[in-house]
Structure 1
């Protein structure tokens, strides 16, 4: 059981990293540091959006419309952090 929880923590870390990459990339695109006309940038951006949209969509349905500010990544990051705390506090009770 301990191994399963450690694997879950690893998956949460990977999702955390992917969300941070997507947030930074969205800022770089907004400030025109990156250009979506470049094929590599467009492919990475499309892949990240396809990967994260199933996570963001249910949260976006619940959150009120805030205009151009998307709070779904923040809510997901807080949720991942909360899960890591819960798993970390209970990790060694399964040993």
Structure 2
């Protein structure tokens, strides 16, 4: 039971920090200004790990590799801690693979969260700085689905389709991760 509690707490804390690093990467790639409350929160929670890495790995164009590396390192540290807690009996060669799968899981979960919150806020028509940021983050995700899926009765079902596709991607990722480890 103690191991399950530690695993859960590590998953929550490291998952949030990893998500913040990935959100920083995505916001920079989409040229979302960081002068809004979301941007300030992202900077406040990720500067401690991203800025030291940026001295070694400078950003290239719109992509900030140091944010991606920080997210991967956080996932790697999580699985390393869990591996050490289990007694380090099994080979640690799979730790980078587990970290990559964990990174992809956080990425997919973040996309699901962005689309869900964006969709809910679009129903209530709030005009706040957060809704504008979410719009700039969700629209590039929804655009490919909207090209394929027309409005049905004047209703945009592209968020629903994208959420289903993201859930399928999560299932495939879990299957691939389990298949490689077996």
Q: Give the number of aligned pairs.
A: 85
CA contact (8 A) 2:98 2:177 kept: yes
Gap regions ≥5 residues in structure 1:
none
Aligned with residue 66 of structure 1, among 152, 155, 160 = 152
CA distance in 2: counterparts of 1:14 and 1:26, whole angstroms: 18
CA contact (8 A) 1:2 1:91 kept: yes
Instruction: Report deviation, 1:65.
Output: 3.1
Q: After superposition, give the CA deviation of every residue in 1:51-89 in whole Å (9 maximum; x if it has no partner).
A: 111111111111123253111111110011001111112
Higher RCO structure (Cα 8 Å, ≥6 apart): 1
Alignment match, 1:10? 106
Alignment match, 2:168? 82
Give the secondary-structure state (helix, strand or coil) at the position aligned to 1:94.
Answer: helix
| Moved segments of 4+, more than 3 Å | none
CA distance in 2: counterparts of 1:14 and 1:63, whole angstroms: 23
Q: After superposition, give the CA deviation of every residue in 1:18-70 in whole Å (9 maximum; x if it has no partner).
A: 111111111222xxxx4x2xxxx1x2222111111111111111112325311
Matching of residue 20 in structure 1 with residue 132 in structure 2: no
Q: For the pair shown, which has the larger CA radius of gyration, 1 or 2? A: 2
With structure 2 as the length reference, what TM-score do the two structures score?
0.43
Aligned with residue 130 of structure 2, among 28, 44, 59 = 44
RMSD: 1.5
With structure 1 as the length reference, what TM-score do the two structures score?
0.78
